[in-house]
Structure 1
Amino acid sequence: MSEIVTAILKHNDLPWQYAEYADNKVYTVDLETDMRKVWVNATIHTDIPRIRAGKLSAQFWACFVRCNSQYKDAVRQSLIQLDTIKKFVKRYPNTFEFVTTAQGILDAFSAGKVASLVGLEGGHSIDSSLSNLRMFYDLGVRYMTVTHSCNTPWADNWTVDKDKNPEHNGLTEFGKKVILEMNRLGMFIDLSHVSKKTMLDSLEVSRAPVMYKRKWRGCHDHIDHIKNLIGVDFVAIGADYDGVPTLPVGLEDVSTYPSLFAELVERGWTKEQLQKLAGKNLIRAFKKVEEI
């Protein structure tokens, strides 16, 4: 079975907020201000002052479009979201650096910048095309969520377990080709929203580490549970900031990561264990994905 990286380095849906509240117009918004005062009709968890307060050093930005774009314009919408990410990263060169490799994360950290990576949040974004998958990789995408909250023509999502009505009984043969192509390219396989059978099929097929993200709810307990169950080497942090409507008291935005680590110190975590959680596990797994 493939090594599992539970959670991942700080997934964030700020690009979706640009789509919702600024029509993807990056240069009309000043991310160096308190965004809670800019998009007053939204609950915004991310801006540059709070990123710095949270001591954030690397970020997977989510490239997400709704499931209702499937069979229509999912690829076009996803490219717009990716363009938005690249624009706001480029607009703030003293804060962000676009990276696509494990070494790139380390280099950005050494330069005092936030390493900015991209994850494609839903297999519907490739429109059942390996060519599209390869193009997204060439544009910088380094993980793809196999499904979001809808089936693709090649994989079942998590809701089929609840409804007990699978469409494909996991991955189709084409779905297995998608997993193998992601392995060949060097992309993480994100199993956050898949059915149990899709997860098992993906683990069986994949030759590289995969990721499975959990939400913030009860995050301290989730982190401890995973550490106690399979070891500290297999846990990292995934928050889904700006992609969820509610958050725990004390962890309301990206500025609060130090509070999370302070709590783990109180629970007996060592400096070495916290370093693994903060990024070393992700770097190790990323290098393994690149080797494949």
Structure 2
Amino acid sequence: MTDRTAPGPADPSSADPSPADPAHLESSTGSDGSADSAGSAGSPPAGSPQAVVREVLRRSPVFDGHNDLPVALRARSGGSVAELDRHRPELHTDLARLRAGGVGAQFWSVYVPSDLPEPVAAVATLEQIDLTHRLIAHYPGQFRLAVTAGQVEAAIADGRIASLLGIEGGHSLASSLGVLRAYARLGVRYLTLTHNHHTTWADSATDPGSPGVGGLSAAGLAVVAELNRIGVLVDLSHTAESTQRAALAASTAPVIFSHSSCRAVNDHPRNVSDEVLALLPANGGVVQLTFVPDFISPEVSSWRAELAAERERLDLPPASWSWPRHPAPGESPAAVAGEVAAAFAAGPGGPPPPELKRWLDAHPRPEATAAQVADHVERAREVAGPDHIGLGGDYDGVDRQPVDLPDVSGYPRLLNELAERGWSATELEALTGRNVLRVLREAERRAEEPLWP
């Protein structure tokens, strides 16, 4: 996740992406929530980009690296997993739109904020793991838990969306390798080493005001070694370049960037430099290009910086969003969701004050586009190569996505853009899923003591 989901309408005055920021969270179905897959209505002309994309998604469905639906459900529904079989306009993700997008496998993020005290973060992470398991179990005709590449392939072959878990930030470990191993036994398949703040053992890309450890400390190297040993993927999104270089040098298994884009296209600290992208082939890893407007669009990045400066000029606090508590035993999820919505509306994350609203009216937020996402995908292909790229949309982890990729139904539009630019079916199939499957399988092969259910 980048910024967090809000329980109410997105606040355009939100500050820069942060885990406490509500602005960074943004077909017909059968009775069991089943929906037609991408491209089921009508047939495009043979040989057209649309026909190529339809066949690509049939052969290699999207295996997306990062979706924040679990935290969106915690914030908007009090942790209830019901009603994804209907359209949920407040979400980017529901069953019908996943099918329309050609999604065959999804890493669900069990994000918790990186500014929580570590013991609290560990408990919250367990709650989010529980929520995600409940989500998968609630729709057995749609989702299937998967922890191995073979299980991903079997779920897809059976018409299910393979569902994997990823932890977004090393703070969730509470500095304990035992906690890491326990997460792995619960089905966690990747660990993002940091989120928006440094840990005591790894540096984040977005915590410049705090002293770091210069990449990875000895404890951080031990975390990477243990991830390799038990077969959990090392995820380098959110990390500082020094952390990325240290992890790539130390890891004996391929790594991923679950939701990052290219710094050469937009110079944002969350994006990956060409120098690091060029190291991926030797490691065998994959960068899964994200759709987050702040990261892909120079215009949106500039607007965000101008907005932050205006908030500072007006002496306004950053927009904030409190981590929603878990329902107490016997308490209704709806009661918690209502409490969260009321707190958001009344707090700094609510409607902007008049002086800021005047600025927002005079400076409308630019829109990012699928073409800009495609620019990042092409840059990553150019530098890292076609075998080292994938997709990580960060849906339900931001308030809005590119105007023509507004929700999880949008993957075919991006693939059409790439097909129109001359991408072959083989390259598109590698991008959508084959590369990530290879990385998952190789991490399994190299694991000395794989831990999973």
Alignment of structure 1 residues 56-205 onto 2, 5 Å: 56-160=103-207, 162-163=208-209, 166-205=211-250
Counterpart residue type for residue 227 of structure 1: R
Partner residue of 1:236 out of 357, 380, 390? 390
Q: 57-66 or 244-253, which moves further after superposition? A: 244-253
* 1:128 positional shift: 0.4
Partner residue of 1:46 out of 68, 90, 93? 93
* 1:151 positional shift: 1.1
Partner residue of 1:31 out of 75, 79, 84? 84
Deviations 1:81-137 (A, max 9, x none): 000000011000110000000011100110011000000011000100000000000
* 1:282 positional shift: 0.8
* 1:52 positional shift: 1.0
Contact 2:97–2:408 under 8 Å retained in 1: yes
Deviations 1:253-283 (A, max 9, x none): 0011111111111010111111111111111
Identity fraction in percent: 39
Contact 2:64–2:103 under 8 Å retained in 1: no
Counterpart residue type for residue 180 of structure 1: A
Say which structure is richer in helix. 1
The answer as to 2:409 corresponding to 1:274 is no
The answer as to 2:295 corresponding to 1:250 is no
Q: Distance in 1 between matches of 2:65 and 2:405?
A: 13
The answer as to 2:75 corresponding to 1:17 is no
Counterpart residue type for residue 58 of structure 1: A
Q: Distance in 2 between matches of 1:67 and 1:230?
A: 30
Q: Distance in 2 between matches of 1:159 and 1:45?
A: 25
Indicate the SS of the match to 1:207. Answer: coil
Q: Distance in 2 between matches of 1:273 and 1:23?
A: 41
TM-score, length of structure 1 as denominator length: 0.91
* 1:76 positional shift: 0.6
Counterpart residue type for residue 53 of structure 1: A
Q: Distance in 2 between matches of 1:72 and 1:87?
A: 23
Q: Distance in 2 between matches of 1:57 and 1:150?
A: 32
Deviations 1:225-264 (A, max 9, x none): 1111121000011100000122111100001111111111
Unaligned runs of at least 5 residues, structure 1 = 1-7, 37-42
Indicate the SS of the match to 1:9. Answer: strand
Runs of 4+ in 1 over 6 A off after TM superposition: none
Q: Distance in 2 between matches of 1:110 and 1:287?
A: 17
* 1:71 positional shift: 3.0
Unaligned runs of at least 5 residues, structure 2 = 1-62, 261-289, 297-371, 447-453
1:286 alignment counterpart: 440
Contact 1:70–1:125 under 8 Å retained in 2: no
CA RMSD of aligned residues (A): 1.2
Deviations 1:177-198 (A, max 9, x none): 0000000011111111111111
Deviations 1:146-197 (A, max 9, x none): 000011111111124x44x542111111110000000001111111111111
Counterpart residue type for residue 216 of structure 2: L
* 1:204 positional shift: 1.2
The answer as to 2:376 corresponding to 1:222 is yes
Counterpart residue type for residue 380 of structure 2: I
Larger Rg: 2
Indicate the SS of the match to 1:46. Answer: coil
Q: Distance in 2 between matches of 1:126 and 1:72?
A: 8
1:264 alignment counterpart: 418
* 1:70 positional shift: 2.7
TM-score, length of structure 2 as denominator length: 0.59
Indicate the SS of the match to 1:112. Answer: coil
* 1:35 positional shift: 0.8
Q: Distance in 2 between matches of 1:236 and 1:274?
A: 9
Q: Distance in 2 between matches of 1:53 and 1:103?
A: 24
Counterpart residue type for residue 381 of structure 2: K
Q: Distance in 2 between matches of 1:10 and 1:72?
A: 26
Contact 2:118–2:173 under 8 Å retained in 1: no
Q: Distance in 2 between matches of 1:19 and 1:122?
A: 18
Q: Distance in 1 between matches of 2:140 and 2:225?
A: 35
Contact 1:15–1:85 under 8 Å retained in 2: yes
Contact 1:65–1:125 under 8 Å retained in 2: yes
Q: Distance in 1 between matches of 2:241 and 2:426?
A: 33
Q: 279-288 or 133-142, which moves further after superposition? A: 279-288
